[in-house]
Amino acid sequence: MKISIVMADRKDLHLVELFKGYKEIELEVLLLNNHVGLPASLFDYPIKLFDPVDDMPQYFRGLSNQLKHCDIVVVVDPHYRSSFQSLSAACKLNKPLILLQTIDSCPFIDETSEDFRTTMQLMRAADFIFATNERVREYLLTEGVQTEKISVTHPEVSEQLRFDSRLRTKFRRYVQLDMNTTLLFTHSNHTERIASLLRALRFFLRRKPTQCKHIKLMIASEEDTDGLKYLASDLGIGSQLMFINQDTRPFFHDLCSAMDIAVDLDSMVQGWMSPWLREAAACDVLPILGSSGDSDYLENFGIVASDGSYLGLSEALEEAVGLFKYQGREAGKIAGQVRRHQGQKSHRELFLNVMSQVMKGYGMESRNVQVDYESQRILVEQNLSLGHRDSVLDGLSLMMSLAGQDFIKKSEAYRIKGDAHLRWGAVELAMEAYDIAVQLNDRNWEAYLGLGKVSLRSHTEEDALMFFKKVLAYKPNQAEALAGVGTVHRMLGMAEDSLYWFHRALCLDMTNEKLLFKLTQAALECEEWEEPIHILESMRDSFGERQCLVMALGRLYLNAGKIEEGKEMVARALESASLDKT
């Protein structure tokens, strides 16, 4: 099977990783030639360059002839005029068409024009669309694309992108940067976001001058940075900045090995992780990103900025620099999480499922690509997370069929059915599905977890406690079950016990703000003060000075007779709350 991927901009080449690694697939990338050298060492697939036509911007001369020889056409961002050309060619040639959408708007095309209307029509006629984030998916839905034709997915990172000490030394020597300097890096074309980071750095420098003595910030941007340089000078931090006003792709592996902390400013606004940050994390760089910027992708290994303001950024910088100075570059930990995420192969299996369906629709033999239970399960759970009710119910029917007489698989299907009913408020149906799941497989801990949640909703505390304890018998460190036990104890008025369980859960799920709030409330309900104070102080070291945490700690200090410390904490919490409002 030959797949041709058409893209207008070389910055999107990282997206090709999504389609690599299949022995039965021959891959080809068709790219508009912008006469900028490509880092061939990073790409192990053929790239065919099309020279631009002077009087026809973004036009691929001879594209139709090139597409005649492929089996499936993949188009990156169909709203670009070059992609519109390839969309038209694919439809005329009756080729299966898959879109890879990264943007949630229509740049370069007037929405009142015929081009726009035709592009919308072609998008809706596509066989499948991979959206790179949730916002793009929502945009496609508003444009009339059918729900079942869209899936949110992330491209994988090249296996060649790993930390290399030789490249670190080479790059730092080239830019005359001391090996002991902590190098912060950011890439953004939005000057106002970079300006917030500069103010955050100055604020951090004034608060922790000794800690910031050996820190440099490198800024990569394709936009004019003269205004930022003037601002840095006015702030008195010009000597700690370095600027790169060029495309970093040709030497990005060197750069990732040289940097220590990466700040993804765009993720704090756009709601998803920038592709370059994922690649930096694969080289063990400590990332700072927005709270909704795919932070779960890195689990506990990323520093989450509360917002993109200079105060939020300053707190994140302080936490990241402190963590880096304490533990250094922990070899393999952050990169290992990136590799584990890829090792789940969810994108691969979803891709195989899509290819199979697309080829069947065009009467092609699927050869080695088949719909199997596992790929269907992934598709159903993804639709469930997105709230696609009809797609989930249809997918569950196929899952049951594919499971056959395999009780383990059937148990899993019923567990997912229970999750779906619980999500949409059908508590009795959820209980029934979970019961069948544990009857088919009495070791299905996820079904027991669902039964615990249902019991909590039904206010049957003893049953909930029993089910959560069963989960912990199979998965002792399952954070949701630990939090569930804590919730039951709190409902029964056992504050000290609930504090213990919430603390255990939070140590395993450090990004869970709701769980942190439950912990602080349980602490305030305790009759003794010493242990709650000790736990909240340890949480402050991990979470920083969250408003609910500082306020609870202040109240505990006051209750314990530590009047001055308590007043100071309460004042800081109130100040933080007033800053949040402004």
The tens digit of pLDDT for each residue in 256-276 reads 999 999 998 877 776 567 778
Q: Give the mean pLDDT of 464-489.
A: 94
Looking at domain 165-331, does it have CATH number 1.10.3210.10? no
**Start-end of CATH 1.25.40.10 domains in the chain:** 477-582
CATH H-level superfamily of 477-582: Tetratricopeptide repeat domain (1.25.40.10)
Q: Is 69 exposed, middle or buried (0-12, 13-18, 19+ CB in 10 A)?
A: exposed
pLDDT reported for residue 345: 46
332 pLDDT higher than 60: no
Give one DSSP letter per residue of 141-191, joined into a string: HHTT--GGGEEE--PPPPTT----HHHHHHHHHHTT--TTSEEEEEE-S-H
Judge whether 130 and 101 are in contact, CB under 8 Å.
yes
* CA separation for the pair 163, 171 (Å, rounded): 13
Nearest C-alpha neighbor of 416 from the set 401, 396, 391: 396
Please tell me which residue, 241 or 385, carries the higher pLDDT value.
241
216 falls in which pLDDT band (50, 70, 90)?
very high
CATH 3.40.50.2000 domain position(s) in the chain: 2-152, 165-331
The CA distances from residue 170 to 132, 195, 239, 332, 428, in Å, are 34, 29, 22, 21, 63
Residues 6+ apart with CB under 8 A from 3: 19, 25, 26, 27, 28, 70, 71, 72, 73, 74
CA distance 187 to 336: 23
Q: What pLDDT sits at residue 490?
A: 92
Task: Give SS3 for 49.
Answer: strand
Look at residue 40 in the predicted model and tell me its pLDDT. 47
Above 50 in pLDDT, residue 338? yes
Highest CATH level, class, for 2-152: alpha beta
The residues pairing with 50 across neighbouring beta strands, listed in sequence order, are: 32
Residue 519: burial class (beta carbons within 10 Å; 0-12, 13-18, 19+): buried
What strands lie across the sheet with 303-305, from one edge to the other?
Answer: 241-244, 215-220, 182-187, 261-263, 286-290, 303-305
What's the confidence (pLDDT) of residue 443?
93
The residue behind tokens 């941007």 is 221
**Exposed, middle or buried, 331 (CB in 10 Å: 0-12/13-18/19+)?**
exposed
Q: How much is the pTM?
A: 0.48
